[in-house]
Amino acid sequence: MNICVIGTGYVGLVTGTVFADLGNEVICIDKVKEKIDSLNKSIMPIYEPGLEEMVKRNVIDKRLFFSTDLQGAVERAEIIFICVGTPPKDNGETDLSFVEETAKGIAKYINGYKIIVNKSTVPVGTGDFVRQVIENNKTDNANFDVVSNPEFLREGSAITDALSPDRIIIGAPTKQVAVKLLELYATIGKPMLITDVYSAEMIKYASNAFLAMKISFINAIADICELTGANITDVTKGVGYDSRIGHAFLNAGLGFGGSCFPKDIQSLVHTAERFSYDFKLLKDVLDINKERVSHFIKIIRDKLVPAEPAPAVVSRGHKQGMGDLQGKVIGILGLSFKPDTDDMRDAKSVEIINILLNEGAVIKAYDPVAIENARKILPDIYYCTSPYEVADGADAIVIITEWREFKLLNMERIKNLMSKPFIFDGRNIYDTERMRKMGFEYYSIGRL
Ligand code: UGA
């Protein structure tokens, strides 16, 4: 099939590449010329395992093309995928201006029947909006249908997820339109659900919201574990063995970040509000998530700054008696919002490092792939080339992202390099008992 994918962000680039790999002819369009020029030289705009090889292979085989020529791509394509960004507005609502702009572009060049597929994460009703924008702006008398086909891939495992998704959701106005999409996905051989456009749009938000809810739930349980002396690792194991619950997305830690969960949950709360539904549960999910960093910082402060004699008047806040981190050298392991990506969007590292810097700490940091992106956001810290360089002279190490290589470090060497053997593990990657036996002052989440 001839496919046009508009937007070469995470979803667009991976989707287009995977469709090409499945044997289709795909043109990926972006309005940013430098991005297209780089892609044509096989320089990837993102770090994603397996992507570069797959792009190269399909470009060589002449199934995958990158271009800024929207007209040519729209005219050729049978199916057009909209994969542009849908950032949040200040009030949590989804900003659909890129979707609108894209729909207008399609309207301008539509020259015959096309299926237009919304793959961007968009609130319920956006299918209608896209249809209306195209109807109002098209110059040709061409017919078209608008389909919702949400994407569920995760950063860091995007290629595997796209090739082997748990399910494929097709929200189409008619059976005939849905069948065209079924053909496109047939070789993937995964469960497909055909539904209406509204339901497909909602499935995407409900899925992300449910996963975020699992994370906030387990983080709240972790806090109660700390208060009661229970151990979150064992609690999670025990809970997850219930097949109705499962172990996935129950890792307690610093909470969820990234470009999807925070904005999608806010967007769903906003959509609900538009229909006069107060989604209290999701508001709590967001609130619990927001508190993760301050909770973690409190653990760091409490352990790293020796308690001062009790003041005459009980006061709160580090300026009034909790001390600060002036001059402490703190090593950070992990900067990206999660492992296997260089994405720094809504990464907990930014929030945590800025607080530590404000309190006077000196920050040394290492991440396997995100340093280049981090430099743009965090210019005032020292970047290291290895975890061992981070450890050298550090008063404490703070683990923010659970990269696999951090689990395999020579901890004896790390300890010997450090000034003081404090480890604050925001992702619970080490065994508490083992770390303490080795002589570390080890503090993690939901485990005493
Ligand atoms: C998420 C969804 O998992 C994808 O299915 C979806 O397609 C994507 O959003 C999207 O809407 O585009 P992603 O944001 O790439 O994917 O990353 P996740 O692996 O879901 O992690 C999200 C956040 O939750 C990360 O900050 C991660 O550290 C955190 N997390 C995840 C936890 O704190 N605990 C867990 O147990 C799992």
**If we measure between CA atoms, which residue out of 108, 109, 110, 130 comes closest to residue 119?**
130
Contact 119, 15 (CB under 8 A): yes
pLDDT band at 320 (very low <50, low <70, confident <90, very high): very low
Ligand 1: which residue has its CA nearest to atom 9?
Answer: 260
Determine the atom of ligand 1 nearest the C-alpha atom of 250. 36
The token pair at 263 is 């904005």
Ligand 1: which residue has its CA nearest to atom 35?
Answer: 249
Q: Is residue 312 scored above 70 in pLDDT?
A: no
Ligand 1: which residue has its CA nearest to atom 2?
Answer: 154
The pLDDT tens digits of the residues spanning 122-170 come to 999 999 999 999 999 998 999 999 999 999 999 999 999 999 999 999 9
Q: Whose structure tokens read 């290629």?
A: 159
Contact 357, 387 (CB under 8 A): no
> To test ligand 1's pocket by mutation, which of 51, 119, 154, 346 has the most ligand atoms within 8 angstroms of CB?
154
Q: Is residue 439 scored above 70 in pLDDT?
A: yes
* Sheet hosting strand 396-399, strand order edge to edge: 382-383, 362-366, 329-333, 396-399, 422-425, 441-443
Its CATH class, for the domain covering 290-443, is alpha beta
Determine the atom of ligand 1 nearest the C-alpha atom of 156. 15
Q: How far is the CA of 447 from the centre of ligand 1 (A)?
A: 23
Could you give the count of Cα atoms lying within 13 Å of 367 in the half-sphere of its Cβ?
28
Which 3 state secondary structure label does DSSP give 439?
coil
What residues are in contact with ligand 1 under a 6 Å CB criterion? 121, 151-155, 208, 211, 215, 249-251, 253, 255-258, 260-261, 264, 337-338
In this prediction, residue 322 carries a pLDDT of 43
**If we measure between CA atoms, which residue out of 343, 15, 337, 319 comes closest to residue 165?**
15
Q: How far is the CA of 44 from the centre of ligand 1 (A)?
A: 22
Q: How far is the CA of 215 from the centre of ligand 1 (A)?
A: 10
One CATH from 3.40.190.10, 3.40.50.720, 3.40.1260.10, 1.10.10.10 for 2-195? 3.40.50.720
Q: Is residue 315 scored above 70 in pLDDT?
A: no
The pLDDT tens digits of the residues spanning 346-390 come to 999 999 999 999 999 999 999 999 999 999 999 999 999 999 999
Q: What is the pTM (predicted TM-score) of this model? A: 0.94
Q: Is residue 311 scored above 60 in pLDDT?
A: no
Q: Spell out the residues 6+ positions from residue 432 whose beta carbon is closer than 8 angstroms to its own.
A: 231, 442, 444, 447, 448
Quote the crossing angle between the two packed helices 197-228 and 261-274, to the nearest 10°. 120
In this prediction, residue 301 carries a pLDDT of 94
Distance from the first to the final alpha carbon of the chain: 57
193: β partners:
169
Could you give the count of Cα atoms lying within 13 Å of 411 in the half-sphere of its Cβ?
19
**If we measure between CA atoms, which residue out of 257, 305, 222 comes closest to residue 402?**
257
The pLDDT tens digits of the residues spanning 212-225 come to 999 999 999 999 99
> To test ligand 1's pocket by mutation, which of 208, 295, 341 has the most ligand atoms within 8 angstroms of CB?
208
Q: Is residue 309 scored above 70 in pLDDT?
A: no
Residue 321 zone, left/alpha/beta (φ > 0; ψ -120 to 50; rest): left
Q: Spell out the residues 6+ positions from residue 191 whose beta carbon is closer than 8 angstroms to its own.
A: 166, 167, 168
Which 3 state secondary structure label does DSSP give 371?
helix
Q: Whose structure tokens read 């699992």?
A: 214
Determine the atom of ligand 1 nearest the C-alpha atom of 402. 28
Q: How far is the CA of 217 from the centre of ligand 1 (A)?
A: 15
Quote the crossing angle between the two packed helices 232-240 and 197-228, to the nearest 10°. 140
C-alpha dihedral (365, 368, 369, 373), degrees to nearest 10: 0
Q: Is residue 73 scored above 60 in pLDDT?
A: yes
Where in the chain are all domains bearing CATH 1.10.1040.10?
205-288
Ligand 1: which residue has its CA nearest to atom 11?
Answer: 260
The token pair at 172 is 């189409």
> Nearest 5°: phi and psi at 117?
-110, 125
The H or E element spanning position 263 is: helix 261-274
SS (H, E, C) 224-258: HHHHHCCCHHHHHHHHHCCCCCCCCCCCCCCCCCC
Burial 116-135 (b: 16+ CB within 10 A, else e): bbbbbbbbbebbebbbebbe
> To test ligand 1's pocket by mutation, which of 148, 223, 249 has the most ligand atoms within 8 angstroms of CB?
249
Q: How far is the CA of 373 from the centre of ligand 1 (A)?
A: 19
Ligand 1: which residue has its CA nearest to atom 20?
Answer: 154
As a CATH number, domain 205-288 is: 1.10.1040.10
Q: Is residue 19 scored above 70 in pLDDT?
A: yes
In this prediction, residue 306 carries a pLDDT of 76
Report d(CA 316, CA 328) in Å as an integer.
21
Contact 401, 420 (CB under 8 A): no
In this prediction, residue 318 carries a pLDDT of 40
With a pLDDT cut of 90, the percent of the chain lying above it is 95
Question: Looking at the annotation, which residues are catalytic?
Answer: 260
Over the chain, what is the mean pLDDT? 95
Q: How far is the CA of 80 from the centre of ligand 1 (A)?
A: 27
Where in the chain are all domains bearing CATH 3.40.50.720?
2-195, 290-443
The pLDDT tens digits of the residues spanning 407-430 come to 999 999 999 999 999 999 999 999
In this prediction, residue 352 carries a pLDDT of 98
The pLDDT tens digits of the residues spanning 249-305 come to 999 999 999 999 999 999 999 999 999 999 999 999 999 999 999 999 999 999 998
Q: Is residue 308 scored above 90 in pLDDT?
A: no
The pLDDT tens digits of the residues spanning 103-125 come to 999 999 999 999 999 999 999 99
